[in-house]
Structures are given as structure tokens and as C-alpha cells.
Amino acid sequence: MRQTYLSQKVVNLKPSGIRKFFDIAATMKDVISLGIGEPDFTTPERILEAGIRSLQRGETHYTSNAGLSELRQTIAAHLERLYGVRYDPEGEIIITVGGSEALYLAFTALIDPGDEVIILTPCFVSYQAGVYLAGGVPVEVPCRMENNFDLDPQEVRAAITPRTKAILIGYPNNPTGAVASRERLLELVKIAEEHDLMLISDEIYDRLVYGVPHVCVPALPGARERTILIGAFSKDYAMTGWRIGYCAGPKEIMQGLVRVHQYTIMCAPTTAQAAAITALRECEEDVMEMREEYDRRRKLIVSGLNRIGLPTFEPRGAFYAFPKVSVTGLDDDTFANRLLQEEHVAVVPGNAFGAGGEGFVRCSYATAYEKIEEALRRIEKFVNRL
């Protein structure tokens, strides 16, 4: 009998640091979770109604592999209106099962065994795993608090080798809440041009920015023809459970992605596609209202953490604060474990997000204002005891 039938690739895969703390918190009472990166808002009513109407019309069958033409056209118009970047909806946009599938398609279509992908960290926990599962080698380039977690073009350049195939970036950033500057993104595009690299830009938080404009990478000069843009409805429109996203890029690249997509997924959920059309066309006001409330919570949690004595830079996007907890004398794992056990507040250790996250914890403010106030009181009690 074999010791295991699992592949070594899966055996060696590191478990998600987010899931570990979420599972522990789920077994406890009176826990305030600042751990889960999910909007606490219900999907806006008009989107719900659009999904219901689609079901009532009997739209319960497959769509084309690339997704509903109407949705692709609507996404193309949306991207051109907001960022001035044009995509042909018939060959340059694919509707996916959330942003996660879009990332999977990009990795699988681009990476040959041994190819290296530079990943700006701290980052979403699935980036390194996705590259690894596709047969690639993730190469982490950490961003730092003293630079507001903006990218350092020179460190990216230094990480490039003959095996480098692509650079993966995610701004607005999960877990730091950082927003990359236009100047440094322009430098990154130049580096990609010089070394003939692809860019994979995960921009699923593009509408959740505060006081600064979002910089859409493929809209930058020279970027469009070497960028795969990842978008989704989960965060901006509070549609996590609908599992609907998209990727956009040059036609010849998208042809490769759709080949993978047609054999693994067939098509994204039909009902969710119908709802997404309404989200883009009718729910701008809802997005603005949610963003305004996130901004209110952002100001509360950042000022509160700094007052407690946990240095926290000002996040300008997404819905995360990233306080430095090493100032307490505890590492991030110990801090998160003890905070959960002693004060019933769940946060995620920064080391779960790759190089540069050590010594920090991620606090999601996608929860009620009153719960954040109570969480801050409990965190202050905990820190004062240390």
C-alpha cells in the first residue's frame, strides 16, 4: 500500500494562514473577527433582483466559454469609461469564476515548468501557491512599511533572471491596503518591456480607494500588450458568493486562457453573469455608499491602532489595516494566537502573506463600525498587559 496517493506537489503545499485562524475562531464564542476579507454588506438589492429574474426566465444553461456577450461588452465599456483602456469584448475578455479562476488561468496558460514569476509581497495568500501548482517558481520581492508598501523597481530588477516569465502585482493590496504610485508602476512597465516580461495585475479592489485615483496598469503607456488584467465583482459589489470575475488582455494571450477555461470550468455561473451586468450598469451609487462606509471604518481602525501603540501606515485601498505588532516584543503568530485566546479578537499573522509581512498582522475593517470599536478596546487591553 502506498504511503500516500497524493502528489508531492500537493503534499508540499503550505496550508493557508488565513484559513487556520478562521477555523479556530469559528469554534469560539464572542469572537470579533477582523480576519476574513469579505464585505459585511449584503449584495445590493438591484443585483439580487437581476439574478432572480434571470432564474425566473429559465436562464439556467451554459453560456459561451468566454461568457455572456452582453456582460463582456458591459465590462469593456466600464473599463474604457473609468480608465481609458479599450478591450475587444469578442476576443479580449473572459468571464471567470471569481478573480481566483482568472489567476489560475493566467498561471496555467503562461507558465512552463521552472519558469519564475516575481511576486510583490506581502500579497494575497494564493499567489505563491498558484504559481507553484502551475509548475512555476515564485520569487518574492518584499515591499516595506517605510515606503508605504509601494513597490521598489530596483529590487524587482535585481530579482530578474533568464527564467523570469512574468511579474505579478496586486494593488490595491491585500493585506496591506497599499496603493501603488503611478510613477513606480510606470517604472515597472519599463522593466517588463526591457526584459520582455508579462505583467499580471490583480485589481479586484479597484473601486475601493480613498482619496487617491486607482491606477489601472494596462492603461499605462506600453503596458496593455503585455498585461493580463484581473477583475472581479466580489469586493467592489459585495458579491463574494456569486463567484464572478473576469480577465482581460491581448487577444493571442486570451486565446490561451480560454483553452484552459473551456476544459476546466466550461463557463462562469449564468445567474451570476446576469447579475453582474446590472451591477455595472445600475449600482454605482451602491459602490460609492459602501466605499464611504469603509472609509469611515478605515479612519477609525487606523487612528485606533496608532493610539494603542501599534504603528499603522495609512492604507489607501481595499479594506485592510496592517499594524506592526513586533513593537510589543511578540512575533506575529504569537500576537495573533494570544489575542484570539485572551481577548477573542481574530486577526491574521502577516507572515501568511509572504516576505515583508513578518511582524505585522492583517486587520480587516469589513465589519460593523461598532464591532471595530469593541475590537480596538480589546486589543488595547491586550497590548497594555504585555
Q: Of 273, 261, 260, 270, nearest to 62 (Cα)?
A: 270
Directed axis angle between helix 17-26 and helix 332-343, to 10°?
10
Q: Is 62 exposed, middle or buried, given 0-12, 13-18 or 19+ CB atoms closer than 10 A?
A: exposed
Contact status, residue 188 vs residue 156, Cβ threshold 8 Å: yes
CA 32 – CA 100 distance, rounded (Å): 26
CA 331 – CA 310 distance, rounded (Å): 13
Q: How far is CA 338 from CA 35, 152, 255, in A?
A: 14, 34, 49
Q: Of 125, 201, 64, 32, nearest to 354 (Cα)?
A: 125
Question: Is the pTM higher than 0.75?
Answer: yes
The pLDDT score that the predictor gives to residue 21 is 67
Contact status, residue 105 vs residue 247, Cβ threshold 8 Å: yes
Cis peptide before 122 (omega within 30 of 0): yes
The pLDDT score that the predictor gives to residue 1 is 62
Directed axis angle between helix 270-282 and helix 45-56, to 10°?
140
pLDDT tens, position by position, for the chain (386 residues)?
677 899 988 888 887 767 776 777 677 788 999 988 889 999 999 999 999 999 999 999 999 999 999 999 999 999 999 999 999 999 999 999 999 999 999 999 999 999 999 999 999 999 999 999 999 999 999 999 999 999 999 999 999 999 999 999 999 999 999 999 999 999 999 999 999 999 999 999 999 999 999 999 999 999 999 999 999 999 999 999 999 999 999 999 999 999 999 999 999 999 999 999 999 999 999 999 999 999 999 999 999 999 999 999 999 999 999 999 999 999 999 999 999 999 999 999 999 999 999 999 999 999 999 999 999 999 999 999 99
Q: How far is CA 45 from CA 225, 276, 282, 368, in A?
A: 37, 12, 11, 19
Name the residue type at position 179. V
CA 161 – CA 50 distance, rounded (Å): 49
Distance of alpha carbon 173 from the chain centroid: 7
Domains and CATH numbers, the chain: 8-43+285-385 (3.90.1150.10), 45-282 (3.40.640.10)
Name the residue type at position 104. Y
Contacts of 1 (CB under 8 A, 6+ apart): none
Contact status, residue 261 vs residue 247, Cβ threshold 8 Å: no
Cis peptide before 172 (omega within 30 of 0): yes
